[in-house]
Amino acid sequence: MTRFGLALLMILVIQGFVIFSEAQLKMGFYDQTCPYAEKIVQDVVNQHINNAPSLAAGLIRMHFHDCFVRGCDGSILINATSSNQQVEKLAPPNLTVRGFDFIDKVKSALESKCPGIVSCADIITLATRDSIVAIGGPTWNVPTGRRDGRISNFAEAMNNIPPPFGNFTTLITLFGNQGLDVKDLVLLSGAHTIGVSHCSSFSNRLFNFTGVGDQDPSLDSEYADNLKSRRCLSIADNTTKVEMDPGSRNTFDLSYYRLVLKRRGLFESDAALTMNPAALAQVKRFAGGSEQEFFAEFSNSMEKMGRIGVKTGSDGEIRRTCAFVN
């Protein structure tokens, strides 16, 4: 190879390395372009969380549902712009997702300081972490640099978001499709320690489990009777909300796992964790373990989830308004 050819090759290699480096998530991605970006997100979260601690559950659910469809690219935020456009937000799994207005507030605060710099995908990821920390839950690293997707698809949301009625095979398949394993499944299910659910997400377990007016035998009968008599009075109830972790719905703790072992998890997907030996072993370990250990491992799984299918570099865009593609 000539000296000129070797020099050209070296330039191309260096350019390729730079492009590759720029295309990765990294801690402090906005340090030069919007130095106070993460502080702005944190401040807006802290201004609202005391009056609305349930925001944490809404945001972590939004983050989860976003990452499982086309990766963590903010596509769950996109509004339909015509009557026949079917976006993720309109899919049944997302009809009860909350926090869209809050993400818009954070975006507005960032746009006023650093227009066109911080992605909506990073806002969801940062705000989720900060809201969990604000209610006393774990913290985790959030490397930034995600870019926003331009496509939002109803059918993909239906096919990829793990359903509350999923059995273990369904759950581990959907998690596996995203590069997550059994341990991640059990850890991320631990987010059910906060928040509420509508009766419609589990009422078949109470009233018509196999289509003959029966009750799910994997659900504790005393708990089921209590739900039927005091909360979800009929299978048609789609408005009543029930705490997923009764008594501590705004406290991030280990009680979810103890409830699962008592057969008092609200969803079939909760009960499914006891149907596989590896998953059950993890449930037992967390139920009897330390909160500190759970927090550390939960944090690792959240950071792992936050990297699913991210768009970086020149892929995607930075939306000016989170609900609309530029």
Q: Is residue 230 part of a domain?
A: no
> What integer pLDDT is reported at residue 21 of this predicted model?
34
Q: What is the CATH number of the domain that holds 66?
A: 1.10.520.10
Query: Which residues 6+ apart lie within 8 Å of 46 measured at CB?
Result: 130, 134
Do 118 and 110 contact (CB within 8 A), yes or no? Answer: yes
- Count Cβ atoms below 10 Å from residue 200 Cβ, excluding itself: 18
Domain containing residue 270: 36-195+244-306
Determine which one of 48, 63, 65, 198 is catalytic. Answer: 65
> What integer pLDDT is reported at residue 22 of this predicted model?
38
Q: Is residue 178 part of a domain?
A: yes
Q: Which residues are annotated as a binding site for Ca(2+)?
A: 66, 69, 71, 73, 75, 88, 193, 245, 253
Q: Which residues are annotated as a binding site for heme b?
A: 192
Looking at the 3D structure of the chain, how many domains does it have?
1
CA–CA separation, 260 and 282 (whole Å): 12
> What integer pLDDT is reported at residue 24 of this predicted model?
87
Query: Would you give the end-to-end CA distance of the chain in angstroms?
Result: 46
pLDDT classification of 323: cutoffs 50, 70, 90: very high
Q: Is residue 222 part of a domain?
A: no
- DSSP 8-state secondary structure symbol assigned to residue 79: P
Q: Is residue 79 part of a domain?
A: yes
What count of Cα atoms within 13 Å lies in the side-chain half-sphere of residue 216? Answer: 25
48 is catalytic: no
pLDDT classification of 2: cutoffs 50, 70, 90: low
Do 296 and 138 contact (CB within 8 A), yes or no? Answer: yes
Residue 19 has pLDDT above 60, yes or no: no
- Mode of pairing for the β-strands spanning 241-243 and 196-198: antiparallel
Percent of the chain past pLDDT 70, that is, above it, reads: 93
Residue 163 has pLDDT above 90, yes or no: yes
Q: Is residue 144 part of a domain?
A: yes
Q: Is residue 207 part of a domain?
A: no
Q: Is residue 312 part of a domain?
A: no
Q: Which of 109, 93, 140, 89 is nearest to 323 (CA)?
A: 89
Percent of the chain past pLDDT 90, that is, above it, reads: 91
Q: Is residue 104 part of a domain?
A: yes
108-160 residue pLDDT tens: 999 999 999 999 999 999 999 999 999 999 999 999 999 999 999 999 999 99
> What integer pLDDT is reported at residue 11 of this predicted model?
42
Q: Which pTM does this prediction carry?
A: 0.91
Do 178 and 170 contact (CB within 8 A), yes or no? Answer: no
